[in-house]
């Protein structure tokens, strides 16, 4: 899983990762740095990642975080949301339909739900990215299963790159 951070985030992120003794392998691509780290982030590291984005890009205000997961990744995003519920609860959350419903049901977190991904939810999230309505997007993709809305997914990824939204 790749965590996409702007250059300004990388120094802080790397220091925190080194403190956590997680091995990372940075690779520069298109003026961004992609950091490959284990999906099982510690609470301290996850909090640090969210906090650095909040301070750097929102001036310390509540962040607007998008949550999306393909069908075979729904269980993983629920585990992530449960594990980091205390961090996520401090921010405004948005999700595609089914993902949002499942996370709300399992965690009780308030989530602004869009339509289901294949029914336009990915495009709604993309519109938020384009209108500067999101600060961070957590997207657990299933690369092994063909998605009927793959063009929408590709457009969303491209928008995140264009608008420098961590994905």
Residues annotated as catalytic are 122
User: In terms of C-beta distances under 8 Å and separation of at least 24 residues, what long-range contacts does 115-118 make, across chains too?
Assistant: 117/68, 117/70, 117/147, 117/149, 117/152, 117/153, 118/147, 118/148, 118/149, 118/152
Task: Please tell me the number of Cα atoms within 13 Å of 116 on its side-chain side.
Answer: 10
Q: Residue 44: enclosing H or E segment and its boundaries?
A: helix 43-58
């Amino acid at each position: 899983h790749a965590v996409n951070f702007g250059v300004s985030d990388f120094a802080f992120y790397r220091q925190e990762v080194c403190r956590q003794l997680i091995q990372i392998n940075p690779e520069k691509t298109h003026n961004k740095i992609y950091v490959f780290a284990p999906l099982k982030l510690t609470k301290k590291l996850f909090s640090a990642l969210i906090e650095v984005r909040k301070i750097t890009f929102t001036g310390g205000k509540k962040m607007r975080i998008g949550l999306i997961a393909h069908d075979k990744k729904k269980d993983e995003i629920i585990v992530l949301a449960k594990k980091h519920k205390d961090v996520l609860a401090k921010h405004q959350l948005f999700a595609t339909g089914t993902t949002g419903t499942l996370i709300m049901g399992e965690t009780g977190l308030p989530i602004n739900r869009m339509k289901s991904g294949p029914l336009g939810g990915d495009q709604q999230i993309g519109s938020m990215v384009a209108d500067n309505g999101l600060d961070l997007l957590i997207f657990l993709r299933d690369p092994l299963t063909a998605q009927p809305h793959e063009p929408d997914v590709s457009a969303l990824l491209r928008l995140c790159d264009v608008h420098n939204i961590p994905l």
